[in-house]
Structure formats: C-alpha cells, structure tokens
Structure 1
C-alpha cells in the first residue's frame, strides 16, 4: 500500500503554547497559499510529521544533545535523516527572522522572480540566486538575514520590494 504525502515542503516554526484549555500546540508558517491549500478543510485531522531543522545553506542542522527531550533517543540509522550527526554538517545556525524568511521563500517563487525582473528592468529571467542578489543589492546588505536586524535594510525591503510586490499580487487577485 502506497502512502500519499499530505504535505511536503519547508515550514517556519513561529511559536508554541501550553495551556490548560488548548493543550500543547505548535504553530508553523508555510511559504505561500499553495502550501496552505494542503491543509484547508482538514481541521481536526491527524498527521504524522518528521521535521528536520535546516540552516541558511539548506542543509540539516545538527541538534545538540541538550536540545532533545529526556525520553528521546539519539538519531542513529534513521532513514529519514541519514545525515544527522554526520561530521560534514557544521554547527547549528541561527533561525531566520520574518523578513529574511520571506525573502528566501519569495526568491524560490517564479511569480516573485518574474515580478522582480520586470520591476527591476532586467532583460533575462532571474534565477533564485539572482533574485537573492537583487534583494541584497537594493537593500544594501551582504546577507538577507540583515533584513531583520538592519533598520535601513528593513525600510528599503518594505518600501522597494514587499509593499510593491504585495500590491502586484493583490492586483492579480492572489492572496498570500
């Protein structure tokens, strides 16, 4: 029997809560409306999940021993995460802030890259890497992570990219 995957993609951990009325909850943000469609109408359904933290380099992040719960076994021979614990993987990286995460996700979207190409008067279609370079150039930063820590970069990103792109999406009837 083949198991059909309900959702496969990148999510960003937003928050957790533990209350007497709602119980334990975690909230994840998905990249776009298409990813959200996987969950619409499935309220109350149960899912099995395997989450592997990834760094800015898109590689798995090694979890330190003290980040595991007391009853959790170390990852050994796990077919889902075979590289966890591999010496090739570097130290854990810090979590992306909201603007950096949004910029990373948008650079992966053909819709955003096409808009950025037209908005920036580029002749050729932009790749994901080229879109990243445009964002960094327009916001005067070396890394998209700086969008959340550098006030000038934050202002430029919102003024030159986020606001105009959201208007573009709204004009096309796309709600993200």
Structure 2
C-alpha cells in the first residue's frame, strides 16, 4: 500500500516538474530575443545572484525573486534591483531623495563598507526584493550551459525510457498512456 502511494506521488511530482519546466521555458523563450530581458512571470522577476555584496541577506549562487513596483512606494531599508550600466545590481536603499519630482536612491550592499558611488534614478528600478531560494542559481547557471542542457535532455529521455520499459514488462502487459 505504502509503495503504491509513494510511486503515485513520485509520478505526480515528475509530471509537475516537467510541466513547470516547459511552462517556464515557453514564457521566457519569447523574451530572450528582446534587449534587456529579465526572466520572470508577469510582475515577478527571477534573477541569479553573482556576488556576495548582499551577504548574509543572500549569497552568490542564490536565486532572488523580486516584484515590479512603483518607485514612489520604495523606502529606506528596501532591497531593490536596478540597472547599473549594462548589468543589474541588487542593493539596499539607504536614502531616498526627491529632487524636483524625480526620485533618486542611494544604495549600498549589506556586505560592502561604503555606499554605491552613484545614486539610482527611478527609471532604472527593476524590482523590489521579495525572497530568495538558496543555491538554486548554481543549478540555473549550469542549466544555461551546453553541458546542462545536454544533461537535462539525457535525464528526461532516460526517465521516459525507464518508465516505458517498466510499463512494458509489468505483468506481461504492454505500456499504455
């Protein structure tokens, strides 16, 4: 009985994971050709952390999820992701300045000794930090490479063959979908 329930749960988990991967890929493939595209779902942005400037809040290799927000709703202490040159940076707001109706944010990494040299304009704000998933960024970085894509394809094909083989050999019946 327990084996049957466990097998059904594992089958369900496999299907859910495959559906989520396909769904995420379909949503983000269409944006890959766009300049300055950030993966996500609607207002939620998903990004990998590449440095330790915000340690211990989050570390290199973590994945952070942020939500697009009106810059006027941001306050001191919020963690924001913003465009800085050709890259994205995620730091804590240490001061908000309203200069002639334009918002400027002074930011600093939690693990940095000094604040960032330049203020961030409200037009460069991407999202406000919501939560992190530890170490998932390393997996995503691996999956983006050739070795990762090859490994994932191999594992999916292997899983399908194993399931088909088990289904064909179970009680002498042929596998049915």
Q: Which has the larger radius of gyration?
A: 2
Same fold (TM > 0.5): no
TM range (shorter): under 0.3
Q: Larger relative contact order (C-alpha < 8 A, sep ≥ 6)?
A: 2
* Structure with the bigger percentage of strand: 2
TM-score, normalisation: structure 2: 0.27
